[in-house]
Copies of this chain bind each other. A is one copy, B any other.
């Protein structure tokens, strides 16, 4: 059984990105990522700080905008429009959640889809469906990167994704299908879940319920990817009962240190990719 080391893979990808950023710099091009945060949510602040630090590490210029909780939507939209036309900015990201008086869907809709490096827009999501290159959602594309680094073969394999969220479950299923796996998406309305998960060579769990997947739900030798990030008695734990499931599977991601470190790294990859696309 191999524990998939997301930190290690993330570091390796960042090394590649540093080289790409350096090559671009030699041509006089510096990638730029604008990060907008509204309010004082401490979780959001940590996420944004990590993104800014990752930019520094890789060699991306970050533009950090902090607004107070009570910002008017017009002000936010005005900034987004400015950033859309700012040639130094290749990617724009609005840290979610936004305060309740702002509609996330409305605000995000103002981001130029060609700068939507989070890949949350309809346009980028549709490119994923159509198999066109674009900015794939960062968490599932980080998981695909883990498969590549560990030489995990997906073709012809049965893959089961538990969870059908817009930012993990559904794009994950599309990416696995494109990689020639036979994919089943399970969710809260699925009947006989265990019967289905037991068939999975590849099991991806993204539902936000601590230790939901137990050993009796997993096939011997499966690859188990745990996207969960739950806090129980002050400790982080995933959606998978790591202790028991790890005894049965061939590969497993730990929480923390598995999928988590990949997300920000893939955001960096999309931001550098934004330049390469426009060259």
Contacts and interface: CB of A to CB of B under 8 A. Distances in A.
A100 to B, nearest CB: 20
A110 B193 CA distance: 44
Contacts of A123: 113, 122-123, 126
A240 B180 CA distance: 23
Given A125-B129, A126-B122, A177-B170, A184 B182 contact: yes
A156 B125 contact: no
Contact of A126 (B126, B155, B182, B184): B126
Chain A, interface size: which category? Answer: 35 or more
Given A177-B164, A177-B185, A183-B185, A156 B191 contact: yes
A125 B183 CA distance: 19
A171 interface: yes
A139 B246 CA distance: 43
User: Chain A interface mostly helix, strand, loop or mixed?
Assistant: mixed
A184 B187 contact: no
Contacts of A189: 155-156, 180, 182
A126 B121 contact: yes
A85 interface: no
Contacts of A183: 184-185
Interface of A: 105, 113, 121-132, 134, 155-158, 164, 166, 170-171, 173-174, 177, 180, 182-187, 189-191, 196
13 contacts: A122-B126, A122-B129, A122-B134, A125-B129, A125-B130, A126-B127, A126-B129, A131-B166, A158-B191, A164-B177, A173-B185, A182-B196, A184-B184
